[in-house]
Structure 1
């Protein structure tokens, strides 16, 4: 076994336990919802009428002198096909057959189809279930078909006819009448079938012969009207012509496009001899190249004569005349080439136009030929189909004449007629309640689990492991306070007390230097239990040292309620306003020897009071007389009081409601505290329901007789 396998299994068990723990936490809500839904279903089922089912059994057989013929042989001497067997079943289920039975028994007037499905226990519900007007034949037939069930018994000739009704006598009557009506229907079929199979085939052959002759005449008439000789050959010629014209048009279009650029350039620079000679179509012509070479030779000759003779010398004048004549010839050559290019461009454009027109005509001919071909193929297929049908029916006629006029008669008889049902088959109250209980239990359990998984709170170990914004100092379980001794509240839950002691130990030993003396307790939003945590933490510290609890939440004070003190007794605000002395404001908790400074009278601006230098001085003065000072502050995200106080303390505890506080709220509050460099030691998860704490504590402290109460420490 791999050494890493066991830890993985343990982790999976823990995760499964955390997923299922919300079910145990909310077990009473789940039980109440499940029982309520079961009671609703039980009450609803009790309002339904009882349903009765009657069954009749028919046999479908043959009267041939040989062995019994099954339904497979009902329509053929050898065996009936599966489709023929299903036809008999569907005949019994058909709407037309149901209308016969409804009319025979006059069910449209029967009370069964004129009342609702509810009984008379609640009259208003029974009246509401009745139709406002008499049902039509269509509605009765539809209801009749829903209640009728045709069930063939496998590998037998037997068929079950079952009908369900609120009236047991009606159920019996309808089941028997269905069999009787089917028997009458078969008799009608045999009496109406007077023509033989041969005569029917002769009639069909006569009709098919007319269709075949008509289709052949239509094909010949179409061939003559359209002049069709060889459809495939003509179609091939048109396709070949279409291909050639398309290729020719593409080449002509390409040539036109190339010449169009040259033509546009010529039109733009027409008359500009220098620009026109830049065209490759001109300067690449052999005649132009020859004239240019002659021009260059004469220019060199003129240059040599210019160096020897003056402007009036006959030889120089003769060369200049020859050069001028050559240049005129060169310009005329360029103009001739330009005109030739323009003509070639116009010729290409005309060719493209002509090819396009020919291609369009060829396309029209191709489409026309396609229509002719499709119509011709359609008429030809019709002729071939009629020939094949005529041939098949002719063969069947010969076979029938050879077999003679054989008839296969089959009949229906009752094996068991329906009797009056002895007891109802529905509603099954026990099964309905059990199903309702199971489904509602599964539904509410799934809702609870999904709700816990989708909540963005710190309500599981998995979510705590992914929380990296601050250390987790302790997880405090959810509990209910117990009251005694004059209705004063004492939080005596063993798990909670031990969790508080664990938090106290973390604060004393987690610091590298000395433990924090002044501790602030805050939270993200109201109602996260910070007042309770602050009071219980102060009581825990008071077991071994002198402690002062200061309620700095002047906006919504709650500690006076827990201590059963007057709401308007003097406290912190009175000390800061200098209206009372310290001994008038501090109250002592005699049960645990704890000194408490409540918030006092609520001022108009608590933030201004807490921002006084006097508040800082009070904390320093109290530090000389107390070993530990715990300050309960307002929520960080609600007001700025906690941010002001956090700068005056040694440690800040951030209380988080495990089931309500969103992670975004926690992150926002911690960010506000870190912006002022507050000494945040970590987060305390309060009201935890799904995170397992050390369960041995409850068991360890259950026996109260084993606990010896030591005398309380005397305070100075």
Structure 2
């Protein structure tokens, strides 16, 4: 059993995967077309780009420290440089100022590289774009220069690669070498400049920090004395607790007032209406009221008993009437007292809310005032602490600098490999771009197709059909192709799967184990263009192979059967029969190919609903029922007009047609709801135009043994 269950699950997963991927197969030519189109556009675009060349120089930056070292620990640990210092040198090579130096020394503002676009001369219009007769400034050239520059340290070494990409191989080599040369010159400039005495600088800083520390301490003490601050945090905590309690009380009082306000508004709206007032929960559940009500009931029962025995003037009856009137008077008086009590409670609750709000506002003001004092006090405290820490740190630095003396250390910088003129281009990689464009465009378009199918709220997949519980799924009809009809070929379709699916639907209706096969069948849908006319015609033809069938086109608003049967649009039909302008034999036509009688819609009336609501229409259905074994009625869409609702009350079964790829689930549910409101005999749903669902699962839903069904020969009719 477990193996069989696993096999069933595996089969279900395979079918689900097929249903997900089937939209790709059905739209394969669109996917191929757009993929090739995007690929050709990318290939054409890449062919217009200029080739780029890349030159690389290798520079060594030694692991020695800068000249000015302020820490004694740095002096005794100079053998290795920190990662931050090495990274600083790399960022220096990438910096804007460094780029401006190189641009200025090579006069790149006048070079063609930065005065032309990225397109070649194949298309003059694109080649001229970006070309300007005005010479750019250094600041305008810097962004393009830095975007082509690459500084990459070699992991685990002191070496760094300096690479520059350009449309000109000579320029890429020249710039890569010039960056290294400029960096060497920059290091020489740093170490050749006169260095200011570190100790003197620290003394100047300490003097200023001492004054700031003294000023901040004085400001803190003055503020403490002015505001009388002893323990600002403790007081703020007490006020905060009080504010929390008052906020809770205000919310409670406001909630109670809101509840009483509803009662008060009800009392004011029903003032003087005793019956309405006693419906209030506060009155209806009151103990005294319940006791008086029970007493009233007892007296009323006693009064009814005495009324049966005695006349209106009998003393006992008069006495009981007086007692009943007195009790009712007491009851009304008690209700009035309760109403007055509720009104007083409402006014009392309002006053309590106002009083609590006043206390809350006062507490908020106190809390805000204390918060401002606390914030200002904390700010002054932080300033004193910060100035004190800075002063102590600079004092320590001063002692270390005095101990270090004139210690100096430099980075060790030199060229390892200078850049050479590149022989081959590095970009664009045309083949890679075209392949990536093809793969990405195909994947992107495929994802769009799949997501569109999954996000459509229709019955276009087996998963959605299994989750649809509003009505049974009778059949899933595949998408079909229409061909021109001829006298010798009655088939209206080129896809035999559709015809077989219709026959399976016929078998399901005839041999349902749950109930008797319906004789009068109405076929409707949610909205137009879901294929109900086609299903009605082919189902009628299928039934006509076995029995005498009448097909009635009750859609007088938008008739379509005349197209399928090559008839005139305004030939006599149902409307003419109901209007008594023609006889039955003039309105019904015989489809001789399949032995089927058809009653078309006829002339479109101004008010089709009025025609279908006639008693004559109901009588015609009964009369036709005496002559035909099966009657199939095509009706207008449920969500568009109410014609189908009227017809559904006259039939044995309603078949609901939905378009598998277009009809939204909301439309289906809405249509079914309308039919259920009039207790229409909904047989189930037929999914039409299905592209991604295997219909075999749904063809055997209402019968068990296909082998017991015998295909009967075509019935000959007179």
TM-score by length of 1: 0.68
Contact 1:586 1:597 in 2 (8 A): yes
- The CA distance in 2 between the partners of 1:496 and 1:170, in whole Å, is 71
- The CA distance in 2 between the partners of 1:52 and 1:412, in whole Å, is 25
Offset, 1:136: 2.4
Residues 630/395 of structure 1: CA separation in 2 closer, same or farther (3 Å cut): same
SS at match of 2:405: helix
- The CA distance in 2 between the partners of 1:531 and 1:670, in whole Å, is 19
SS at match of 1:482: coil
* Pairing 1:79-118 to 2, within 5 Å after superposition: 79-118=80-119
* Pairing 1:635-714 to 2, within 5 Å after superposition: 635-694=637-696, 712-714=714-716
Aligned to 2:258: none
Aligned to 1:204: 198
Offset, 1:126: 3.9
Contact 1:524 1:636 in 2 (8 A): yes
Residues 469/382 of structure 1: CA separation in 2 closer, same or farther (3 Å cut): closer
* Pairing 1:87-166 to 2, within 5 Å after superposition: 87-130=88-131, 134-166=135-167
Aligned to 1:361: none
- The answer to whether structure 1 residue 412 and structure 2 residue 414 are counterparts is yes
- The CA distance in 2 between the partners of 1:414 and 1:676, in whole Å, is 93
Aligned pair partner of 1:551 in 553, 560, 572: 553
TM-score by length of 2: 0.68
Deviates most, 648-657 or 584-593: 584-593
- The CA distance in 2 between the partners of 1:74 and 1:209, in whole Å, is 22
Offset, 1:74: 8.9
Residues 567/189 of structure 1: CA separation in 2 closer, same or farther (3 Å cut): same
Offset, 1:41: 2.6
Offset, 1:607: 2.2
Contact 1:521 1:534 in 2 (8 A): yes
* Larger gyration radius, structure 1 or structure 2: 1
Aligned to 2:570: 568
Contact 1:74 1:80 in 2 (8 A): no
1:199-239: CA deviation from partner (whole Å, max 9, x where unpaired): x6xx333454566578779989999x99x9xx9xx9xx995
Aligned pair partner of 2:626 in 579, 603, 624: 624
Contact 1:652 1:681 in 2 (8 A): yes
- The CA distance in 2 between the partners of 1:110 and 1:48, in whole Å, is 19
Offset, 1:535: 0.7
How many residue pairs match? The answer is 560
SS at match of 2:459: coil
Offset, 1:52: 1.9
SS at match of 2:178: helix
Contact 1:546 1:627 in 2 (8 A): yes
Offset, 1:475: 1.1
- The CA distance in 1 between the partners of 2:547 and 2:231, in whole Å, is 112
- The CA distance in 1 between the partners of 2:660 and 2:377, in whole Å, is 83
- The CA distance in 1 between the partners of 2:374 and 2:677, in whole Å, is 84
SS at match of 2:684: strand
Contact 1:118 1:129 in 2 (8 A): no
SS at match of 2:555: coil
SS at match of 2:602: coil
- The CA distance in 2 between the partners of 1:465 and 1:243, in whole Å, is 66
1:347-369: CA deviation from partner (whole Å, max 9, x where unpaired): xxxxxxxxxxxxxxxxxx99999
Aligned to 2:445: 444
Aligned to 1:469: 470
1:607-632: CA deviation from partner (whole Å, max 9, x where unpaired): 23323333333333333333222111
Aligned to 2:395: 387
Aligned to 1:479: 480
SS at match of 2:142: helix
Contact 1:521 1:530 in 2 (8 A): yes
* Pairing 1:189-268 to 2, within 5 Å after superposition: 189-190=190-191, 192-193=192-193, 203-209=197-203
- The answer to whether structure 1 residue 501 and structure 2 residue 503 are counterparts is yes
Aligned to 1:606: 608
- The CA distance in 2 between the partners of 1:664 and 1:654, in whole Å, is 14
- The answer to whether structure 1 residue 396 and structure 2 residue 390 are counterparts is no
- The CA distance in 2 between the partners of 1:591 and 1:31, in whole Å, is 43
- The CA distance in 1 between the partners of 2:374 and 2:611, in whole Å, is 100
Residues 222/37 of structure 1: CA separation in 2 closer, same or farther (3 Å cut): closer
Deviates most, 536-545 or 150-159: 150-159
Contact 2:23 2:453 in 1 (8 A): yes
- The CA distance in 2 between the partners of 1:175 and 1:55, in whole Å, is 6
Residues 571/9 of structure 1: CA separation in 2 closer, same or farther (3 Å cut): same
Aligned to 1:22: 23
Aligned to 1:589: 591
1:288-341: CA deviation from partner (whole Å, max 9, x where unpaired): xxxxxxxxxxxxxxxxxxxxxxxxxxxxxxxxxxxxxxxxxxxxxxxxxxxxxx
1:536-556: CA deviation from partner (whole Å, max 9, x where unpaired): 101111222222222121111
Aligned to 2:582: 580
RMSD: 4.3
SS at match of 1:531: helix
Aligned to 2:41: 40
- The CA distance in 2 between the partners of 1:370 and 1:585, in whole Å, is 99
Residues 238/116 of structure 1: CA separation in 2 closer, same or farther (3 Å cut): closer
